Structure formats: structure tokens, C-alpha cells
Amino acid sequence: MNYQTQKITKIKWITVCLSIACIFQMSSCKEESIDAAYFVLVDDNNGTYVRDISIYPNGGVRTFTLVSNRDWEISYDEMPWIEISPTSGHGVSTISITTTPNESLDEDSIYVSIKNNTLLVIDKLKVKRRNYLATYKGNISVSSPIEGICTTCSPPSSNVTDIAAISVLDSVNNKITLNFSATFRLSKSFTMDLKFEGNMQTVTENQEVKFVYRGVGTFDLTPLGEIINDPSVSGVKNTVIEAELKGGLLTFQAVIDPGADGSVTQNVSTLITFEGNR
């Protein structure tokens, strides 16, 4: 959403909020619109009324518009991973919520309240900082000497384009795992399940925080070779993966049968590229 669209959306929401405030007064909107008190919190990302706030694990700054015509004060449980500013003011104001990256496997949450003098006007608004363990749904492309699963070969097979895939980030025995699954419609249905074990690191790039995952595993090509009737496609092969997680978007490149340094070996390796959202 560009700046102009955000501005128009915000104006629309402020207009709606003012109208709602008038409706609930005992007298006419014309007589009471100035004196009627209203308090509404709007998400600047999408212009919607805020019921709770979910923060991606990479943290950062989120902004919200508090639509009001009264003095207000924000209170919350102060934690080292979150800062809310400003915490008091009057009328319509932009509220910034700044969070640090969540590098643990736990999720955090606090509750925020907004009051006018002693009157609670917004109570127990939940702010949740997610971890990166989640299911990500998207699509893959495959570059491979194995034509049966190649989506980038020319001409591409209509049976192997737009392959839906699911990737799951999890934690097992203090190791971060990434399990990937995609089904190919060949002469028989073939499901490719890749499992990796590795580590997640936090990286700051261009003042933005992202998570980088590197892992290794193995994959048995034999069942695929049997389906496509190609005995040369067989054996357990090493696999490597490098993934990036920014916000709710997971991208990765995985290589089946890589070279010694994990790179793609021409006419040998299979390269899988994935992009998906949680």
C-alpha cells in the first residue's frame, strides 16, 4: 500500500469513527459531535480497527493511529523487548510500537490499556511477539537434470508447473529443523519430502533484521527413479539448504546432490527454490 492510499484509508477510518461516536449519543450528531468522547486504535498497515497486535519475529517498528478527541494515557507491562511511544497525549496521534527480534523459541505477549483520566477506554489489548517456528505455504520451482520434476526446463511440462509446497520450521533436540514437502503429478503421484537440520542466525542488512537458516540432510532418489522408470535416478544423496526469513516471508534454495562446497553441479544437482508465507 503506497503512502497516498494509506492516507486516504486513514481519513476514511477517522470519518467512520467520528460517525460511530455521534450515533451512540443521546442527542443529535450536530449538537454533540464536539463533546462526544471517542477512542479508536487503527493499524496504519491496513487501515483496520485493532483488536490485537501480532508482531513478526524479526521485530522492528509498527505504527498505529489513536483516533480520539480527549486526553489519553497508555499503560503496559514494561518488558525489554518492547517500547511504546508516546504513552500520553491528546487527540489524534501516531503511536509507535518498537520490538526487538525474537531469537528464542518462545513467544512473548503483553497487554496494553488506554485510559482517559481514570476511565479505561481500551482494555487488555494483546500485543504478541511471534517466534519463527511456523508453517509456510507457497510454491516452488525446480531446476534439475531429472526432466520429470524440472519446472524450468524448456519446454516445461504442464504437469510440473506451479507446484504448491509446504515448509515447516520446528525445533528438535535444540536443533532447528526445516521440513519441506511438495507433490508432483507424474505417472504416479510423487511426494518429495526433504528434511534438514541446522541453525538459525539473526542478520542485520540495510538496517533491517532477518533470520538466516542453514541446514543439511539426505534424500533418497530411488522412489522417484522407479516412478519415471529411470534406473540412473537412484541412491541416497546429500542435501543442503539456505533459507531467509523476513517478516512472514520464507524463501530458500535447497540443493539435492550438491558439489563439495554445497554449490550446484551442472547436470548433476537439483536446485529447488521456494517462496511462501506463514
Neighbours of 68 (CB within 10 A): 23
At 275 the pLDDT is 96
Does the structure show a pLDDT above 60 at 86? Answer: yes
Tens of pLDDT along 196-248? 999 999 999 888 899 999 999 999 999 999 999 999 999 999 999 999 999 89
pLDDT of residue 20: 46
Instruction: Count the alpha carbons within 13 Å of 9 in the hemisphere toward its beta carbon.
Output: 16
The average pLDDT across 137-147 equals: 93
Contact between residue 52 and residue 79 where contact means Cβ atoms under 8 Å apart: no
Q: What is the mean pLDDT of residues 167-185?
A: 92
Q: Is the pLDDT of residue 27 over 50?
A: no
Does residue 51 or residue 255 have the better pLDDT?
255
CA 230 to chain centre: 39
What cell does 1 get? 500500500
Q: CB under 8 Å to 239, separation ≥6 — which residues?
A: 194, 196, 216, 217, 218, 219, 254, 255, 256, 257, 258
Delineate the domains of the chain, giving CATH numbers in brackets: 3-129 (2.60.40.10), 135-277 (no CATH)
**Sorting pLDDT into bands at 50, 70 and 90, what band is 188?**
confident
What is the arithmetic mean of pLDDT over 51-78? 93
Please tell me the predicted confidence (pLDDT) of residue 118.
81
What distance in Å separates the CA atoms of residue 213 and residue 190, rounded to the nearest whole number?
27
pLDDT band at 32 (very low <50, low <70, confident <90, very high): very low
What percentage of the chain reaches a pLDDT higher than 70?
Answer: 84
* pLDDT surpasses 50 at 4: no
d(CA 183, CA 241): 19
Give mean pLDDT, residues 1-27: 47
